[in-house]
Structure 1
Amino acid sequence: MGGRTSELLQGVLAAHGGLARWKGFERVDASIVTEGLLWGMKGLVQDSEPRRMTVWLREQRASVMPFGGPDRRTAWTPGRIAIETTDGQLVAERTEPRASFSGHGESTPWDPLHRAYFNGYALWSYLTMPFLFTLPGVTAEEIEPWEEGGQRWRRLRVRFPDSVATHCALQDFYFDGDCLLRRHDYQLDVSGGLPAAQYLHDYIEAQGLRMPGKRRAYRRDADNRAVDAQLLVAIDISDLHYT
């Protein structure tokens, strides 16, 4: 890791509350509201009701409730996705769930377990950023800055190993002058490599840690620009609490 990369990454971690503070917690709970075009592309209906998301910080594990019914929740890890009742009774499960997306295109329908897996890994990634950049095997390299909307953002290109479940192996992250994350580029491997540019704003603070309260992911065109008319996923995050 080069000197400028290390300097930028340290600034980013500090701006979001600091790695030492982050390491003092085991879990985060948040309220999420999700909308966007992706669900219809997958043959799904997404309502705008708030759900409670739980993400574990020391392991790749997440759960959201309600899911498909008021008494149901998900149980996600990279190697297994399950839907269960709130008292722990198994409703459905799939082991090695990533393999079930093999051959999928942008409009391939998803079943409830596909949807649950996507929710699990995506929200786990979002609610652990940028601290997951420090996980074993993850590497970050500073690349050329980017100008957009009259702003100049520094960028980190982050490579994730196979052991980390996320959108794709190589992702770009854009940071403003205060080292806050403002844009996140990736390809949606579980949906035929759909290119996305996600914008982050309305930061919120909980127990000294800072996270964006709004995420808006748009289709990304060949010029690395967001297609405003194609809002794939919108996520509003609130009521953060770390334990």
Structure 2
Amino acid sequence: MNDLAQTIIDSHGGLDLWRRFGKATAHLTQGGALWSLKGHAGQLDEVDLTVGLGEQWASHSPFSADGKVSHFKPNLVTVTDSAGKVVEKLDDPRASFAGHTLETPWTDPQLAYFAGIAMWTYFNMPFVLAAPGVESTEIETWTENGETWRRLRVMFPSNIATHSTVQTLYVDASGLIKRHDYDVEIAGNTPGAHYISEYTEVEGIKFPTRRRIFPRQPDGNSLAEPLVVSIDLSSIRLS
């Protein structure tokens, strides 16, 4: 594994400790322009998340005002009612986004897929860097707001459902991730700059609790507005 990738993993708690756990739970408070743009304003403003650590799956509850629950896996998304009955199902969900742009509305299962890949990626980063098939290379440093960050270019294999094949991590002197760039392939390859802060430690693992995502320009700089997505996490638990 790349030396910088190893440094990042160690700074967040280490792979051996991480592998003791199979899932994480958390409370999410979310906002930003994306949700209304996709036709789902308010739907995921306050939700509880359960996400697999390693294995790809995630669930959001409540997924709607009437108590539905989303269930994401890379090849299948289901939405169940409050009694656990499947009310919507989407096989091969990634294929359903063909031809989408940033403005294309999402169905409920498509929203569940996006929310699933997003939160699975965020909770498994940086430990997913050690997964089979993931490749990483250190690239030139980046200076922003008076800080100089090391950068890691990451290539994901096709069997990992995430925002984009190529992503970039920006890392401070302590080895913690400060920014995470990707292009949202299922929304017309929309480029994002994802800022990460306010770390907390849970069972020896460090998690950021504040995430803010802004548009990314061709030169790599981010725009100050609009705020595309905001995520605040609390009550993180590992088991």
Taking structure 1 as the reference length, what is the TM-score of the superposition?
A: 0.95
Tell me the residue number matched to 2:159: 163
Deviating runs (4+, > 4 A) in structure 1?
A: none
Tell me the residue number matched to 1:146: 142
Provide the secondary structure at the position in 2 that maps to 1:226: coil
- 1:129 maps to 2:107: no
For residue 114 of structure 1, the aligned residue among 110, 117, 121 is 110
> What percentage of aligned pairs have identical amino acids?
38
CA distance in 1, matches of 2:160, 2:82: 27
CA distance in 1, matches of 2:162, 2:36: 22
- 1:82 maps to 2:69: no
Structure 2 spans left out of the alignment, 5+ residues: none
Alpha-carbon distance, 1:42 to partner: 1.4
Please identify, of 228-237 and 42-51, the stretch whose mean Cα deviation from structure 2 is larger: 42-51
Give CA-to-partner distance per residue, 1:24-53, whole Å, 9 cap, x none.
001100111111111122122125742110
For residue 90 of structure 2, the aligned residue among 81, 94, 102 is 94
CA distance in 2, matches of 1:218, 1:28: 26
Tell me the residue number matched to 2:216: 220
Tell me the residue number matched to 1:28: 24
- 1:71 maps to 2:58: no
Provide the secondary structure at the position in 1 that maps to 2:99: coil
Paired residues, number? 239
- 1:235 maps to 2:231: yes
Give CA-to-partner distance per residue, 1:193-227, whole Å, 9 cap, x none.
11100000000111110011011010001221111
CA distance in 2, matches of 1:14, 1:126: 17
CA distance in 2, matches of 1:121, 1:149: 30
CA distance in 1, matches of 2:176, 2:54: 23
Pairwise CA RMSD: 1.2
CA distance in 2, matches of 1:121, 1:46: 19
Taking structure 2 as the reference length, what is the TM-score of the superposition?
A: 0.97
Please identify, of 42-51 and 83-92, the stretch whose mean Cα deviation from structure 2 is larger: 42-51
Give CA-to-partner distance per residue, 1:95-130, whole Å, 9 cap, x none.
000011000011011111111110011101001110
CA distance in 2, matches of 1:48, 1:71: 12
Alpha-carbon distance, 1:86 to partner: 4.0
